[in-house]
Amino acid sequence: MDHVVVEPDSSSFSRVARALDDEASGEQWRAELATDLHAALELGVATVRGSLMGMATGGLDDGHEPLRQAVSASVESQVRMSGRGAGARIRARKITLRNFVNAPKRLNSRRGWRHPVHGDTETWVTQIGAPGWFDDPLRRLHARLHSAAARALDNRARRIARRG
């Protein structure tokens, strides 16, 4: 014998199939799961934004959007339901601000960046952001964020099981 067939009774199978159709096929299911996962990651997003806004600053008001606020606004949770990158994550979108390309990554780096001093095009300085503003808080919160996302998925699975 090279395989085993296990078949539930047809009424149980039909009931589970209807429950899955009601839950899994609709946009409402995906939207609710995405909302639950975004809520599970909100602690991480808020912590990363707070870490960035707590960074020391000595900048002058030059009439442009402040760097920290722009980078903070680029931090978001992202949920993908299908494909190779399916899952939930926290990211800082790659933004360009006043010819400052990929500001979130460069603020998080120990390398820094060079720029002219405000109002003086001849004097250049190397500026360092807050290395680890993104990575360090998420590393500390990883276990909590992982368990919160797992709870959101488990709640969805229990809901489907209850309907079956």
Q: pLDDT digit string (tens) for 63-103?
A: 677 888 999 999 999 988 777 778 888 999 998 887 788 88
pTM for the model: 0.75
Low-confidence winner among 6-15, 19-28, 55-64 (lowest mean pLDDT): 6-15
The whole-number pLDDT of residue 5 equals: 39
* Integer Cα distance of 43 and 48 in angstroms: 9
Does residue 147 contact residue 124 with C-beta atoms inside 8 Å?
Answer: no
**What pLDDT sits at residue 56?**
77
pLDDT above 50 (res 2): no
pLDDT for 48:
93
Contact yes or no for 55/64 (Cβ under 8 A)? no
Residue spans per domain, the chain:
10-163
Which residue type does 54 have? Answer: G
For residue 140, pLDDT beyond 90: yes
Q: Are 143 and 133 in contact (CB under 8 A)?
A: no
What are the tokens at 121?
């095009």
